[in-house]
């Protein structure tokens, strides 16, 4: 498997930039999901939802007002957010979603879009988050159709936005006008104001996160495990107490790992970067420093 964004091995010296690591450790909450303490530096809820919409996770659509609930065809081929905060989805032309949207009048077709984010590396409690966006679905027609196709192509530039199959269009862009958003993820649970979705930006690392985490897990497992040395001897994090350390999530603010103890207990630890990173090059530099600190 090609990994163009692999993290380089760190040098065997302690970097002064990470001599005092900023570490947040948190245990299971009452639902069994590790949550951060208050005040942890993190993306906003709107940014997290937009990241899920733009890049991550599987999507399912439910149309409570539609008569046809035939299985299949509910997974959009592409999706993005418009400058107005609507969600544009590319669905098969002959799908129940497309048919229902084509015959919808004004705002009479309600729709619920559910997003599930699964960790790309196998780990206990692998679901990292769920988002639910409810609103009204319409077919994009005329000039709006062309505009929606352009927006989708900008977000999915590698030929992931097919528009036709011979003379018959194979895909239909539909627009979800969002009226309600809820989120439950690694950071916490709550509602999001739909008006904030348009202004929020997706995390710049999200496009590469899956490859990065899988590479860390497969090629740098020893370095990931060594991060336990930065936890300051917290109970349950000693070498003899930890069975497994798995990279769970990374964003522009830091890296999160999940520790599983020999007794089966789960502990998450997050290592904050001194400054948010904006691209893979910046992330590579911060990971280099972080591992150097752990191995120092």
Each of the 296 residues of the chain gets a pLDDT tens digit; together they read 222 233 332 322 222 233 334 666 554 444 344 444 445 678 999 999 999 999 877 898 988 866 555 544 457 888 999 999 999 999 988 888 888 888 887 668 899 999 999 999 999 889 999 999 999 999 998 999 999 989 988 887 655 555 555 555 688 999 999 999 999 999 999 999 999 999 999 999 999 999 999 999 999 999 999 999 888 777 777 777 889 999 999 999 999 999 998 888 888 899 999 999 999 999 999 999 999 999 87
User: Which residue intervals of the chain bear CATH 2.30.110.10?
Assistant: 45-196
Comma-separated ranges of CATH 3.20.180.10 domains in the chain: 16-42+206-295
CATH fold label, 16-42+206-295: Split barrel-like (3.20.180)
Residue found under tokens 């979705």: 197
- Which one, of 252, 246, 208, 217, lies nearest residue 48 by Cα? 252
Q: What is the pTM assigned to this prediction?
A: 0.83
CATH class of 45-196: mainly beta
Q: How many Cβ atoms are within 10 Å of 279's Cβ, its own excluded?
A: 11
């Amino acid at each position: 498997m090609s990994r163009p964004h692999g993290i380089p091995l760190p040098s065997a010296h302690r970097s002064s930039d990470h001599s005092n690591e900023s570490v947040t450790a948190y245990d299971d909450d009452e639902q069994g999901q590790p949550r951060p303490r208050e005040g942890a530096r993190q993306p906003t809820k709107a940014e997290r939802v937009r990241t899920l919409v733009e890049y991550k996770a599987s999507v399912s659509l439910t149309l409570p007002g539609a008569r046809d609930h035939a299985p299949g065809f509910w997974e959009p081929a592409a999706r993005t957010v418009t400058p107005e905060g609507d969600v544009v989805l590319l669905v098969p032309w002959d799908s129940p979603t497309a048919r229902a949207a084509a015959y919808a009048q004004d705002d009479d077709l309600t729709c619920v879009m559910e997003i599930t984010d699964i960790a790309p590396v196998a780990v206990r409690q692998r679901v990292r988050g769920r988002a639910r966006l409810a609103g009204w679905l319409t077919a994009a027609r005329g000039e709006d159709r062309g505009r929606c196709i352009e927006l989708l192509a900008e977000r999915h530039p590698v030929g992931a936005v097919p528009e036709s199959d011979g003379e018959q269009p194979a895909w239909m862009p539909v627009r979800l006008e969002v009226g309600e958003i809820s989120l439950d993820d690694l950071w916490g649970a709550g509602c999001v104001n739909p008006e904030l979705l348009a202004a929020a930006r997706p995390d710049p690392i999200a496009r590469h996160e899956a490859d990065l985490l899988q590479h860390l897990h497969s090629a740098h497992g020893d370095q990931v495990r060594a991060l336990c040395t930065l936890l300051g001897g917290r109970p349950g994090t000693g070498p003899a107490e930890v069975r497994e350390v798995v990279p769970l999530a990374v964003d522009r603010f830091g890296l999160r790992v999940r520790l599983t103890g020999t007794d089966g207990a789960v502990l998450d630890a997050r290592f904050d970067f001194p400054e948010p990173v904006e691209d893979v090059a910046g992330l590579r530099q911060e990971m280099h420093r972080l591992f150097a600190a752990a191995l120092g």
